[in-house]
Amino acid sequence: MSAATSRRLMEGSEAIAEAAIAAGCRFFAGYPMTPFTELLEHLARRLPEEGGTCINAESEIEAIGMAWGAAATGARAATGSTGQGLSLMQESLSEITRAEIPLVVFNMARGQGDYFQATRGGGHGDYRHIVLAPIDASEAVAHTQLAFDLADRWRHPVLVMGDYLLAHTSEAVAVERVAFDPQPSKDWAVDGSLGGSGRSRNLNPIGMEKGSKGIDPDRFWRRLQEKQDRIEAAEPRHETFATEDAELVVVAYGTVARFARYVVQELRAEGAKVGLFRPITLWPFPSEALAACTAGATRVACLEQNAGQMIDDVRLAVLGRAPVVPIGGISTDPAGFGIGRLLDAAVVRGRVEAALAGRELDTGVVV
Amino acid sequence: MSDDLRVIQTDSPPAEGACRTQGFGSPLQLSEEHDLCPGCGEPVALRAILDAVETLDLAQRAIGVVGIGCYTALTSLIDLDLIQALHGRAPSVATGAKRMRPDSLLFTLQGDGDMVNEGLQEVIHAAARGENVTCILLNNGVFGETGGHMTATTVLGQRTKNSLEGRDAAYHGHPILIADLLSRLGGAGYVARASVHDAPGVARARRYLERAFESQMKGEGFSFVEILTMCPTGWFVPTAEGPGYLDDVLAPIHQLGELKRDGALVEPD
Ligand SMILES: Cc1ncc(C[n+]2csc(CCOP(=O)(O)OP(=O)(O)O)c2C)c(N)n1
Ligand code: SF4
Ligand SMILES: [Mg+2]
């Protein structure tokens, strides 16, 4: 695509769709729901042009089922939705993780109330997904491609977490192809070619193995857990701004971090000793990096657009070395799409200043 | 509760242990040993499926998508590429796989609880879309694996663990005749119902499976083969009475025969 090298004004959903295609995604299935809908629209238009398929599934359950089947054949496949739809997909997401099928899921959330759903596995069983939380459309382009790379490399589902503002804000974006290390071959994928050879495959989430009766769940689950331990060690990502001598470290992710970054830059320029820590992967959570860069802080402020979810991970990382205070809160619009008053630099500034001054904030509802 | 309801212990594997299907092997079976009950119809149906794949020389193009039920345990023994799906979810998984591998023979294997209870909308939408896959239903009228509970295909009067006096239309509702329902959908090209309760039945099951697979390989859209299978354990009848029970109780309601061929409804004879 010629647009791959030049910047063009496009909304986040379109940028993500183009990035998915650039990453080689050739299958998508979904069911409309705000603010995920436009991603489905763009892929429904663009995938057939690229020789791919986009199916308007009968529900989110079938959308992820279809993506599961497509990914099982080795194709790069994705699905996506918004909170409720993601809830419907959880049974499959859990099993896909255990079947070790690489799948990318675009989680276009309404605000940040789905942090737990995204980072705690979300369904039944012992597992977590990799979760990438881009701050803007340009980073979403990079994260979309990274998501397909990580999914294949680890044979593990990867969630790209966006929201209404990311999906709907038009920005000048260049969809540049990111280069990654070569991938191992997908010899695990089913193509039907090995029938009758004695080496046929079974992409199986319950640990069944060809030729043997019964299963050994303990051994199966332990092997998967060992892989997750390796992901947890290898893949945490974060960004910091002005944390070296910061007395107050603000922690924020995604769209909310964009407001936080602006405010922290502004306050820094005015001489306040404030810094920003931005988790880029919500799982694995960058705990070690957060512990290190808050070691000299007198206070850590967690800015998130919910009643307090990421703050659990922040507290586990800081481990009592400094007080961790919530400065975000529930904040949405009358439609519930997550466009609340918190998404305003002046409001965020007031809340960061309160934390700097050690003042208590009402985090129940941001008014 | 009726006196003649024999309750066979189904909370643990059958006391008689594994049934060896001696001399029953297909070249596409890795082993003949399995733990299904004596008299179970599912290994027979599985064998018919493998025979049809073998006869049409499609083993090296076949991908099976498997649901969750008693038959699932048999799939470790199948030497074909498989995807294990969730309970109820095989048709959507088959859809995604077939779209990416259009030259493959894509079939699903589901029980009646799996297909007609848990995931009914999947098979209906796959059929209506004309998805070029073959969905295979092993219908024994019960949740075999959980120990013989009522499903959406349990016939009126049939006793199960949660319809002890027999399925009562007023209380439990009516059975869904799934092949009949699917045959009415535009995207369905081939729909048939077979059984494995006797030798002619098995031969017919193989014939229908071959026709369904051929129709898929010709790209004629959705194909469907329902196979009635014996579940003596879940029916609470002695092993040897399974075939007779199938013939007397299930087959009069879930009637055997082809319902649709080449996209046209077959008139009952
Ligand atoms: C979501 C979900 N609900 C329930 C179950 C439990 N379960 C496993 S097998 C089964 C019944 C299977 O019945 P059927 O599909 O008719 O197959 P059969 O055992 O009769 O061959 C049930 C209810 C499950 N695995 N997943
Ligand atoms: S319970 Fe029924 S379906 Fe299951 S193995 Fe026994 S006879 Fe077969
Ligand atoms: Mg059944």
- CATH code (residue B158): 3.40.50.970
Which residues of B are less than 8 Å from A105 in CB distance?
none
Q: Is B175 in the pocket of ligand 1 (CB under 6 A)?
A: no
Low-confidence stretches of chain B (pLDDT beneath 70):
1-24
Please tell me the predicted confidence (pLDDT) of residue B16.
53
Structural domain boundaries, residue B104: 42-228+238-260
**Contact (Cβ atoms closer than 8 angstroms) between residue A61 and residue A89:** yes
Please tell me the predicted confidence (pLDDT) of residue B35.
87
**Residues with Cβ–ion distance below 5 A, ligand 3:** B 111-112, 140, 144
Please tell me the predicted confidence (pLDDT) of residue A174.
96
> Which of B30, B86, B101 shows the shortest C-beta gap to A91?
B86
First-to-final CA distance of chain A: 45
pLDDT, tens only, B192-250: 999 999 999 999 999 999 999 999 999 999 999 999 999 999 999 999 999 999 999 99
What is the value of pTM for the model shown? 0.95
The rounded Å distance from CA B242 to ligand 2 centre is 11
**Number of domains forming the structure of chain B:** 1
Any idea which residue has 């024994």 for tokens?
B140
For residue B144, give the DSSP letter. T
Domain ranges of chain A: 3-173, 238-356
Which residues of B are less than 8 Å from A62 in CB distance?
89, 91-92, 95, 121-122, 125
In Å, how far is A220's CA from the nearest CA of chain B? 15
Enter the tokens of residue A215. Answer: 């299963």
In Å, how far is A264's CA from the nearest CA of chain B? 46
Residue B16 in any domain: the answer is no
ipTM of the shown complex: 0.96
Residue B136 in any domain: the answer is yes
Query: Using CA positions, which residue lies closest to atom 22 of ligand 1?
Result: B146
Any idea which residue has 């029916």 for tokens?
B235
A4 touches chain B (CB under 8 A): no
Ligand 2 closest atom vs CA B242:
7
Question: For A327, phi and psi rounded to 5 degrees?
Answer: -125, 5
For A3-173, CATH number out of 3.30.70.20, 3.40.50.410, 3.40.50.970, 3.90.1150.10 equals: 3.40.50.970
Which of B10, B46, B86, B143 has most ligand 1 atoms within 8 Å of its beta carbon, as the pocket-test mutant?
Answer: B143
The rounded Å distance from CA B146 to ligand 1 centre is 7
Residue B21 in any domain: the answer is no
- In CATH, the architecture of A238-356 is 3-Layer(aba) Sandwich (3.40)
Please report which helix (H) or strand (E) contains residue B242, including its range: helix B242-245
Torsion of CA A99, A103, A108, A109, to 10 degrees: 20
Residues with Cβ within 6 A of ligand 2? Answer: B 36-37, 40, 42, 70, 140, 144-145, 231-234
Q: Is B221 in the pocket of ligand 1 (CB under 6 A)?
A: no
> Which of B80, B99, B122 shows the shortest C-beta gap to A70?
B99
Please tell me the predicted confidence (pLDDT) of residue B21.
45
Ligand 2 closest atom vs CA B148:
1
Low-confidence stretches of chain A (pLDDT beneath 70):
1-5, 367
Please report which helix (H) or strand (E) contains residue B80, including its range: none
Residue B4 in any domain: the answer is no
Please tell me the predicted confidence (pLDDT) of residue A366.
74
